[in-house]
Chains A and B, each alone.
Chain A
Amino acid sequence: MDDLLRRYGPTLTGAFMLLTAFWLLMLVILPNITLFEASFRPYLPVVDVGGPKDFYSFNNYGKFFANSTDTDIFGMNIPLPIHVKIFFGTIYYSTLVTVITFVVAYPLAFYLAKVVSPKSLPTLFLLLFVPLWVSEVLRSFAWWIILALKGPLNAILLGTGILDQPVRWIMGYRAIIIGLVYTYVLFMVFPIYNAIQSLDTNQIEAAQDLGSPWWRTHLRVILPHAKPGIASGSVMVFMLSAGSLLVPALLGSPTSLWFTQTIQQWMLESQDWNTGAAYSFLFLILCTCFVSLVMWVFKVQLTDIAK
């Protein structure tokens, strides 16, 4: 603050503070407090707002645990509320997407950081960035075309004789996973690339010189160094996947609801904003807890991610 005043004088400092405060208060903090508050109130017609029926309760959260159905979990039939089931499905498949993107992205990030000649790097990055800039809806649409029952993928697989029956790809969660991996894999590549790039190449050569085979060099030297990058890539991919609405809506089927879709139903179909708020808040908190838990298990600090 003193530093700002000294460097930019009172007028500019005031302007900077005002802009920052507008952002953080009006666009981030207060809306979230409103969300939290609204989630405990009932959904009422306008005339009843503020009246005797308008009191705080956990009723909206209760809807989360309504409508139990029998669910098959590892061979056991357990009664599970439908929304709880959708929630865990979302978490589970988002985790799966995160793991797949990591497996795909790691060799690529290593290639970009340490193998490829620096001269061809700008061209490669250009080619990688273009899909990133194409909107998510179009990228999902592209896979919708490819995975269609009479689409090019089935045509090729049938034509080459790999399949003798066309596969209905857009069924259950599998097309969603394919779409999410395609949409978010680059969010895994770039943080890992940044992390590996900052590793001194001499360390890799020293390990090799000491007789370490390539897999041990990766396991003991490169992976530990890349951990912050892997962590930030994973958090990005997980949160984006879990929060995605487009990909499940376009590539999902009626049997594969995503949790964001239940929120959307409350908000736009039932027009019950208060229950929508409760579900949003729950979703935000549970995702944050899950991410924190995973970070704690892998011993990653938030400050590592915030680089």
Chain B
Amino acid sequence: MTEKLRRTLYNIYMAAFLFYLLVPLALMGGAAFNDSKLPSVYPWKGLTDRWFIDLWNDETMWYSFRNTILVALAVVLLAVPIGTAAAIVINSISGKVRSVLYGVMVAPVLAPGAVIGISTILFWNKLNVPTGLHLSVLGQVSYIAAFVMLMVLARLQSFDENLEEAALDLGASHGQVMRRILLPHLYPAIGAGAAIAFFQSIENFNITLFTRGTSQTLTVYVFSKVRAGITPSINALALLLILVTFSAAVIYEVRRRRAATIEAAREAEARRADEAGII
């Protein structure tokens, strides 16, 4: 097999994979415009916007949507400080204690959501806390904090501890070192961690199902709709969610590229200065 042929085969495979990933989403979104009582693009019965209007008038949807956002915000507010603190703690220790602690922190990511949900309600029930969305928040934080921890830890490993010492040496207090030196370095990871926490919370189903009590969130609502008599207004919702996700991803990527361009220009300037012997 020649190099060129192999490369072509790889490209075809990649394209096929992207097709496989994206077409189901496109089909689901397309069904939102089909004037058919069943959510499908086939058979096509003409273009309509009535599923979007149905969705807009669906009060349960709005109620679930509001709950989902509130839960996600609460998860971000808890998981980000917890994950950041845990990353700083684990970064400062080594040896056996570190591996054990790390294992306990990462385990909830792998644990089935049902198990997390059930253990959460059993534990808080003992402390006389009833089920409800507040328990969904706590259950979700137990594994989402691990994502934040992993992101911040990765960023911490590229941190030069000399910067902290330099700031202390120049007279900064511990709080000032934190605010002016360490946190600014961690902001990209904390921001990405917050975004991950937010999206993970929105799409969480397993833990929420067991802990929610009688409240609704968007995923649970969609799930119940799909099971019991579905209308294409769900497709309209899906399409809107996909568009929001896609725009957020594009904005993030554009900003990242802009920052990379600026940094590359700066480094080029420094290189030119070095080469020109400017001292």
Decide if A and B touch, CB cutoff 8 A. yes
Chain A proximity of B198: nearest CB distance (Å): 10
* A23 touches B (CB below 8 Å): yes
B203 within 8 A of A: yes
Q: Which residues of B contact A143 (CB under 8 A)?
A: 24
Per the bound structure, the CA–CA distance linking A264 and B220 in Å amounts to 14
Q: Cβ of B17 and Cβ of A104 under 8 Å apart?
A: yes
User: In the bound complex, how far is the Cα of B38 from the Cα of A34, in angstroms?
Assistant: 45
Q: Are B118 and A277 in touch, CB under 8 angstroms? A: yes
Partner of A273 from B92, B114, B122, B145 at Cβ < 8 Å? B122
With A137-B219, A249-B227, A267-B210: A111-B114 Cβ-Cβ less than 8 Å = no
> A92 at interface (Cβ–Cβ under 8 A)?
no
Q: Is the CB of A30 within 8 A of B205?
A: no
In contact, A134 and B245 (Cβ under 8 angstroms)? yes
The answer to whether A284 and B115 touch across the interface, beta carbons within 8 angstroms, is: yes
Q: From the candidates A31, A107, A115, name the one contacting B7 in the complex (CB within 8 A).
A: A115
A302 contacts the other chain (CB 8 A): yes
Q: Shortest beta-carbon distance, A236 to chain B, in Å?
A: 7
Decide if B246 is an interface residue (CB 8 Å cutoff).
yes
Whether the pair A108, B13 counts as a contact (CB closer than 8 A) is: yes
CB distance from B65 to the nearest CB of A (A): 13
Asked if A155 is at the interface of the complex by the 8 Å CB criterion, the answer is: yes
B229 at the A interface (CB under 8 A): no
Q: Nearest chain-A residue to B20 (Cβ)?
A: A182
Q: Once the chains bind, are B123 and A245 in contact (CB under 8 Å)? A: no
- Which stretch of A54-62, A69-77, A80-88, A122-130 is in the interface? A122-130
In angstroms, Cα B133 to Cα A244, docked, is 21
Q: Does B197 contact A (CB under 8 A)?
A: no
Confirm or deny: A139 has a beta carbon within 8 angstroms of a beta carbon on chain B: yes
Distance in angstroms from A219 CB to nearest chain B CB is 16
User: Once bound together, how far apart are the Cα atoms of A115 and B13, in whole Å?
Assistant: 12
Specify the main secondary structure of chain B where it touches its partner: helix
Asked if A79 is at the interface (CB within 8 A of a chain B CB), the reply is no
Residues of B within 8 A of A284 (CB): 111-112, 115
The answer to whether A16 touches B110, judged by C-beta atoms less than 8 angstroms apart, is no
Contacting residues, chain B, for A144 (C-beta < 8 A): 226
Residue pair B227, A130 in contact (C-beta under 8 Å): no
Compute how far the CA of A1 lies from the CA of B174 in the bound complex, rounded to whole angstroms: 15
Contact B209 A129 (CB under 8 A): no
B173 CB to nearest chain A CB (Å)? 8
B114, A280: Cβ atoms under 8 Å? Answer: yes
Q: Report the bound CA distance from A62 to B68 in whole Å.
A: 38
Q: Within the complex, what minimum Cβ distance (angstroms) separates B35 from chain A?
A: 16
Q: Please determine whether B110 and A239 come into contact, CB atoms closer than 8 angstroms.
A: yes
Q: Is the CB of A245 within 8 A of B114?
A: yes
Say which one of A2-10, A168-176, A195-203, A221-229 lies at the interface with B.
A2-10
Instruction: Tell me if B6 and A214 are in contact (CB < 8 A).
Output: yes
Closest A residue, CB atoms, query B138:
A27
Which residues on B sit within 8 Å (CB–CB) of A257?
Answer: none
> Beta-carbon contacts of B221-259 to A below 8 Å, as 1s and 0s?
011001100000010001001100110111001001100
Q: Is the CB of A246 within 8 A of B223?
A: yes
A127→B164 CA distance, assembly (Å): 39
> What residues on B are CB-neighbors of A155 within 8 Å?
42-43
Give chain B residues whose Cβ lies under 8 Å from the Cβ of A115. Answer: 7, 10
Cβ A107 vs Cβ B223 within 8 A? no
Closest-CB distance, B189 to chain A (whole angstroms): 16
CB of B104 within 8 Å of the partner chain: yes
Nearest to A303 among chain B residues (CB) is B99
**A278: min CB distance to chain B, Å:** 10
| Measured CA separation A126–B106 after assembly (Å) | 26
How far, in angstroms, from A134 to B43 measured CA to CA in the complex? Answer: 25
What residue of chain A has the Cβ atom nearest to residue B88's Cβ? A16
The answer to whether A273 and B242 touch across the interface, beta carbons within 8 angstroms, is no
Q: How far is it, in angstroms, between the C-alpha of A127 and the C-alpha of B257 when the chains are bound?
A: 16
Q: Name the residue among A26, A124, A303 with the largest chain B CB count within 10 angstroms.
A: A26
Query: Would you call A34 and B126 a contact (CB within 8 A)?
Result: yes
Query: What distance in Å separates the Cβ of B227 from its nearest Cβ neighbour in chain A?
Result: 7
Closest to B245 in A: A133
Let me know if B93 is at the binding interface, CB within 8 A: yes
Assess A137 versus B223: contact at CB under 8 Å? Given A8-B177, A152-B42.
yes
Among A95-133, those with CB < 8 Å from B are: 104, 107-108, 111, 115-116, 122, 124, 126-131, 133
Q: Which stretch, B50-58, B79-87, B264-272, touches the partner chain A?
A: B79-87
Per the bound structure, the CA–CA distance linking A97 and B122 in Å amounts to 32
Is B203 within 8 A of A28, CB to CB? no
**A–B Cβ pairs within 8 angstroms, 23 of them:** A9-B174, A11-B174, A20-B86, A20-B89, A26-B138, A27-B145, A31-B119, A31-B120, A108-B13, A122-B253, A136-B219, A137-B226, A138-B222, A139-B24, A141-B238, A145-B39, A151-B42, A182-B21, A214-B1, A214-B6, A245-B209, A264-B209, A302-B103
Which residues of chain A have a CB within 8 Å of any CB of chain B? Answer: 1, 3-4, 7-9, 11-12, 15-17, 19-20, 22-24, 26-32, 34-35, 38, 104, 107-108, 111, 115-116, 122, 124, 126-131, 133-139, 141-146, 148, 150-152, 155, 182, 214, 235-236, 239, 242-246, 249-250, 260, 263-264, 267-268, 273, 276-277, 280-281, 283-284, 287, 302-303, 306
Q: Which 4 A-B pairs have the closest CB atoms?
A: A243-B112, A9-B174, A135-B203, A31-B119
Beyond the given A135-B203, A243-B113, could you list 7 further A-B residue pairs with CB under 8 A, ordered by the A residue number? A150-B38, A155-B42, A155-B43, A214-B6, A239-B111, A246-B205, A264-B210
